[in-house]
Amino acid sequence: MPNDTTRVEIITGHERRRRYTANEKLTLVDATMQPGMTVSAVARLHGVSPSLLFKWRQLMSQGGQVAVKADEDVVAASKARDLELRVRELERLLGRKTMEVEILKEALAAAREKSLSGSCRRRHAALPGEGCGRHARRRPV
């Protein structure tokens, strides 16, 4: 009988808080929805605080309502955290690649500038500031 009060539980000592898995929470909340069962009775049977069961019921109903309003599936918080971490990692990699591209563009521009100004002087013995005359004729004015 769900309202049986013959069982007495005495808690002694300092114990850590118990962690419940999602399946355990779902099982207990489903048990409270069964005909003839009350939240208090389920709480007593499983050694859980009734207020905790009420909180789980409320959270589950709110999560379901949000999913129905958005016409989407409910995503577990752990899955959402994993996806957020993946996005952060990809954003970090994108930032790194963007920096590399910018550095390479600057290096390429500096190399081109250096190549155009220095190579002609070395090959044709032109003085700084003057062209060798050979390449100047090829450029359109």
The pLDDT tens digits for 108-137 are: 999 888 877 765 555 555 555 555 555 555
Compute the average pLDDT of residues 31-54.
89
Query: Across the chain, what does the average pLDDT equal?
Result: 77
Distances from the Cα of 21 to the Cαs of 25, 65, 118, 126, in angstroms?
6, 22, 71, 81
- Note the pLDDT of residue 76: 74
- Note the pLDDT of residue 18: 79
Tell me what percent of the residues of the chain surpass a pLDDT of 90: 23
- Note the pLDDT of residue 19: 82
- Note the pLDDT of residue 124: 55
- Cα gap 94→74, rounded to integer Å: 29
- Note the pLDDT of residue 12: 64
- Is the predicted pLDDT of residue 92 greater than 90, yes or no? yes
- Note the pLDDT of residue 46: 87
Tell which wins on pLDDT, 56 or 136.
56
Write out the two tokens for 73.
């599936």
Tell which wins on pLDDT, 135 or 48.
48
Tell me what percent of the residues of the chain surpass a pLDDT of 70: 62
Query: For the chain, which domains are there?
Result: 6-74 (1.10.10)
Tell which wins on pLDDT, 51 or 17.
51
64 torsion bin: left (phi>0), alpha (psi -120 to 50), beta (else): alpha
Tell which wins on pLDDT, 33 or 136.
33
